[in-house]
A and B are shown apart, each in its own frame.
Chain A
């Protein structure tokens, strides 16, 4: 879990990235970090990690987490409902540790301005991976179940330590 200091630190780094990229116009904050704080909260680890990799909260902006947690009845095709109290605790953690940006109205939104739900839909994800790296052939070679199967290419350290190396 992030401490206030590390959050400030990340925010400072993120704003640095925004400044650096604002020249070229591409500016999703947090997109260039290869390390995201891994999920350490026991409740979040239990509830999110029961079915899939414990995705670091910093991989999605707060608005996306909000939309995901509001739609657990159909969570990418599966019922992942939680009781209200548990859902609120999980959401609080995700919001507090979410990617600092982008804000509403930026490119990380769908056609109708809705927050993008999938990590693999985020502009930084597409930019970092490119069509070749996540092509059907490439995924098959790595035995990846989908482009969201981070550990297939990045290794289990992606989940345990939040390290996403090439």
Chain B
């Protein structure tokens, strides 16, 4: 059954509004709409960030980029940066120190990123320890996620 034309127009408007809302997140930074599993991981980090700091409003891809691309000193000498293994361009494949390829981190070229919470937590746990010498905060995890999924 075909719905009346007015209802269709209304649906379209609603869809557009939803899409616009999905595009503008992370403090006004435009990023691609997240898949349901990505959204769930994002929301988990947002809730934890809010619990740690009631003033938290949104994740920042800019802060995430600075953390991801930055050189750090607290961790291991061989891995001073995320880019040590992931390369400067997250749209490209990286390489582990043992020589295995690492699939791109950017959500635009690898939509599987940030879809499995256990895997995400496992890698943040290992890599924040190796690069920073400490655990990452929920804010940092969400910021890097905003950066990588926004690329």
Residues of A within 8 A of B (CB): 49-53, 77-83, 145, 148-149
Contacts and interface: CB of A to CB of B under 8 A. Distances in A.
B118 A83 contact: yes
B99 A79 contact: no
Given A79-B125, A79-B130, A52 B76 contact: no
B98 interface: yes
Given A77-B76, A83-B118, A52 B99 contact: yes
Contacts, number: 38
B126 A52 contact: no
Contact of A78 (B100, B118, B130): B130
A83 B123 CA distance: 11
B97 interface: yes
A82 B121 CA distance: 10
Query: 4 smallest A-B Cβ distances: which pairs?
Result: A52-B98, A79-B126, A79-B129, A51-B96
Interface string B129-140: 110000000000
Contact of A149 (B99, B129, B130): B99
B122 interface: yes
A81 B122 CA distance: 8
B78 interface: yes
Given A77-B76, A77-B78, A51 B122 contact: no
Contacts of A148: 98
A27 B69 CA distance: 51
Contacts of A78: 76, 79, 97, 126, 130
A19 B118 CA distance: 47
B130 A53 contact: no
Contact of B126 (A49, A77, A80, A145): A80
B125 A53 contact: no
Contacts of A52: 96, 98-100
B98 A51 contact: yes
A52 B118 CA distance: 20
Nearest to B75: A79
Given A78-B79, A78-B126, A78-B130, 11 more contacts: A49-B100, A50-B96, A51-B97, A52-B100, A77-B76, A79-B126, A79-B130, A81-B122, A81-B125, A81-B126, A145-B99
Contact of B100 (A51, A77, A83): A51
A51 B102 CA distance: 8
B132 to A, nearest CB: 11
A53 B98 contact: yes
B36 to A, nearest CB: 23
Interface in B89-112: 96-100
